[in-house]
Structure 1
Amino acid sequence: MSGGLLKVLRSDSYVELSQYRDQHFRGDNEEQEKLLKKSYAENAMRYINGTRLDDRIIRTDWDAGFKEGRQYGRGRSGGQVRDVYRQDYDAGRGGYGKLAQNQ
């Protein structure tokens, strides 16, 4: 659960959060939330990577972390990094890759 959702649930008088904790997990709620988010990301990598959507293969990769200027997984040209280096023509992705257009 996200921290924002917990705040909403705590402020709702009709919802009671129990003090139950998983007996196998010894950490606090923040640690448990962090580990759950990591497991969701691992499952996304495992089950989504390589599947097809609209005749295109979905590719997933671990994010190196936030750095100013590289938001949303974009390359320097604003498109996906993979498209910058693409040498073939693909109308569905805007034609040739940026490097191929500059040559």
Structure 2
Amino acid sequence: MNVINNELLIINNNILFFNQAIHVKTERPSPKLELTCPHCCRNFGTKHLLHQHIAGVHIGMRPYTCQICGYATAVASSLKLHQRSHSGEKPFSCDECGFRTADHNTLR
């Protein structure tokens, strides 16, 4: 992170206003991934994630469907996040500025 002045700074080659910077995730070392998909050689840290990937990407199993628009996914939490795009629900907020978001991963 490079500070340009009191209002602007650079993070990951992006110039941001300072109040935006508190919402930018910083780079973290990736966990060691040991399980490899036999179809595409992508690596996963748990059997559950590997099986979920194979079912959704390679087999096409998407049992979770949005009743509003028909969006389908292999992951229940992805459907829940998608449904918030219809409802406008933003249950997560920044303690420092009050910024609200539907996805907790947006906040660091």
Q: Which has the higher relative contact order, 1 or 2, with Cα contacts under 8 A spaced 6 or more apart?
A: 2
TM-score interval w.r.t. the shorter chain? under 0.3
Q: Larger C-alpha radius of gyration, 1 or 2?
A: 1
More strand by share: 2
More helix by share: 1
TM-score (norm 2): 0.20
